[in-house]
Structure 1
C-alpha cells in the first residue's frame, strides 16, 4: 500500500504539519480538497497550519487509500508558538472546510478558493478564534487597522481578505459585515512590462529542448496565461482551421485564438517526440498536466541562456504579445477578444506602452 509520512514542527516561526509522499495523482487530488493545503517546493511536501485536528483529518481523508506514518508528528503546545497569532481552533478549521466546499460547489476558481480559505483562517486567528456568530463589523475594522495597515500589506491583499470575510458571512452566516471605517484604496495602475521582439526571440530560441521551446513559444504566439497553457488538451488544437480553443480562462470564460502555421509545425514536431496522451503538455507521468513550478524553471533557464537580465515573468510574454499586436496595427477590440478581457479598459493599458504611439510624440526639446 502507498505510504504517507506526516510530521510537525515550527518552521519560519509558524507551527506546521508536513505531509510527504511519492508522486501519486490520486493522493494529490485528495490532499488538494483540504482548504489549507499548500505545496512547498523547498520542503518538497504539502504544508498545513498546525492544529489539533489536522492529523485526524488526514487519517480520515486517506483511509483505505494509503498507510500513514505519523511517528514524527508531535503536539505543539502554545508556549512553543511565536507570540503572533494563535493556531486555528479545530471547530473553525471545520468551518473553513465547509466554506471551501461551498466555493468549490459554486465553481469559484481554484486560486480564489485557496486564497479566500487562507485569508479567512488568518482573520479567525487574529480574533483569537472568536466564534463566528459573535463577530461584528468592528472586528473586521480592527483587523484592517491593526493587522493589514500596521504591517503595510498591499492593496490587493487588503481587498482579498475583506472580500473573503464578507463572502463567508453573507453566504454561510447569512448576515453582512459592512465596515464603514475601511476605505478601499484604488489599486495602483502599473504599466505592463513589455519586451522587444529581439528579446522575445532570444528567449524563445534559448532552449534546445523542443518541449520547453514550444511551451514558451505558444504563450507568446497566442497571448496565453500560464494556467491556460497548462490546461490545454490535445483536442484544443484545431490545425485545419488554424485555431486554438482556450477552456475556462480567467473568469471561467472560453475563447478561440488564431494559431499560425509556424506554431502548428512546431507543435507537430513536438508531438512526434513527446507523444502526449491527454494534456498538450504533460508532466513526467502520462495524462498529468505539466506543473507550474516546472514551467517557471523552463523560463528561468531560458533567461539565463539568453543572458536576459530583466526580471521577466511568463506574463511578460503575454503583455509583449498584446503590445506587438497593437504596434502592428491590430484593432484594440480584436486584441481585447484575443486576450479574453471582459472590459476594454483593461486592454487600453497597452496603448500606454506601445512604441508606435509614443514615438509619434515630438519632444519640445527638439525645437530648441
Structure 2
C-alpha cells in the first residue's frame, strides 16, 4: 500500500489543481473502484499535481510522467507493488483527462516480485493456537487459519454470517466485491460457541471494547505475542495464516480450482503460487544422498566406514 499523503501536501494545491483532483476522484468512483483504492490513487495524483504545478494539462506527456515516476519512486522508496499502483493511478489519470498528451497504454508497470510466501507448518499452527490463551484471540486466529480469511474479512464478519447448522460462514463483498462460502472446521465450532457465550457480541462476531469493528492493530499485536511464546522464528503476519491454509489444502490434495474458490481469487495464477510452496510432490522426490546411502547399506554396512571413491587420490 502507498503511504498516506499528509494533509500538508494537499493544502499546497491551487484551486485549479483541486478541481482536477476532484474530477479524477469522481472518475474513479464512477468506475466503482473500492474506497481504499480511490484513496491510494488520489494520494499519488496529489504528488503529480504538485510536481506539474499550474502548467496546462495539454503539455503533460509520457516523458514528463517518466521523470515524475523516477523521482517519486526514488524519494519515497516505493516497493514494487506500490510502484505498480502508482502506474495504475497514472493510467486512469490519462484515461480521464484526454486533453493531455498522455498515452496510458504506453505506461509500463514493473514486473511483480515473485518471492514465495512464508508458510507455517501444521505443527507450528497448533503451537500458535495452544499458546494463545485469550479465548477471543484464539478464536480469531483459529478462524483466520481454518478458513483462510484476510484480516479485513475476519474483522467484518457478522454474527449473521455464521451458520453453524450448515457448518459454514459467508464472506460478503470482499476483495473484488465478491461473496463466497467457506466450510467451518468442526474443531472451531465449540470454540465459537464458547466465545459467543462468554463475550456476547451484538452485531459483528468480533467487536471492540466500545462495540463496532475490532482493531486490526490489536490482532497484529496479540499475534506477535503468541509467535514469541510459541518460539516461531519465521516472519508471521495475519496473512501468513491465509498462506498456510492455502498451502496445506494443496498438500492435502484439494483441487487447485477449489482452493481458488475458497480463497476468493479472481485469477488462477494468483492461487498457483502455492503450488511452489506445497511440499506434497517434493516429499515424493528422494534425495540422491538418501538413495546413495540406502544402496550402500543394502550392499555392505561396513562400506560406510571406508573410502568409497575409486578416483586417484592427490
> Structure 2 length as normaliser, TM-score?
0.83
Aligned to 1:322: 246
Kept in 2: contact 1:332–1:348 (CA 8 A): yes
Give, in angstroms, the shift of residue 367 of structure 1.
4.7
Q: Rg bigger for which structure?
A: 2
Q: How does 1:174-213 map to 2 (within 5 A)?
A: 177-178=102-103, 183-213=108-138
Asked if 1:163 is matched to 2:121, the reply is no
Aligned to 1:344: 268
Aligned to 2:309: none
Give, in angstroms, the shift of residue 297 of structure 1.
1.3
Aligned to 2:225: 301
Asked if 1:154 is matched to 2:79, the reply is yes
> 5+ unaligned residues in a row in structure 2: which ranges?
293-314
Asked if 1:111 is matched to 2:36, the reply is yes
Aligned to 1:228: 153
Distance in 2, matches of 1:157 and 1:260, equals: 36
> Structure 1 length as normaliser, TM-score?
0.71
CA shift in 2, pair 1:106/1:234, >3 Å: farther
Please state whether the residue corresponding to 2:169 is helix, strand or coil.
Answer: strand
Aligned to 2:277: 353
Over the aligned positions, Cα root-mean-square deviation in angstroms equals 2.7
Aligned to 1:121: 46
Kept in 2: contact 1:124–1:130 (CA 8 A): no
Q: Deviations over 1:54-92 (max 9, x none)?
A: 5xxxxxxxxxxxxxxxxxxxxxxxxxxxxxxxx443542
CA shift in 2, pair 1:129/1:282, >3 Å: farther
Give, in angstroms, the shift of residue 243 of structure 1.
1.1
Asked if 1:261 is matched to 2:186, the reply is yes
Please state whether the residue corresponding to 1:50 is helix, strand or coil.
Answer: helix
Which range moved further: 290-299 or 124-133?
124-133
Which range moved further: 178-187 or 310-319?
178-187
Give, in angstroms, the shift of residue 221 of structure 1.
0.7
Aligned to 1:289: 213
Asked if 1:243 is matched to 2:168, the reply is yes
Give, in angstroms, the shift of residue 50 of structure 1.
1.1
Give, in angstroms, the shift of residue 322 of structure 1.
0.9
Structure with the higher helix share, 1 or 2: 2
Which range moved further: 173-182 or 257-266?
173-182
Kept in 1: contact 2:156–2:204 (CA 8 A): yes
Distance in 2, matches of 1:151 and 1:207, equals: 37
Please state whether the residue corresponding to 1:252 is helix, strand or coil.
Answer: coil
Distance in 2, matches of 1:318 and 1:123, equals: 36
Q: Deviations over 1:75-110 (max 9, x none)?
A: xxxxxxxxxxxx443542454344334434543123
> 5+ unaligned residues in a row in structure 1: which ranges?
1-35, 39-46, 55-86
Aligned to 2:6: 48
Aligned to 2:295: none
Asked if 1:311 is matched to 2:235, the reply is yes
CA shift in 2, pair 1:180/1:321, >3 Å: closer
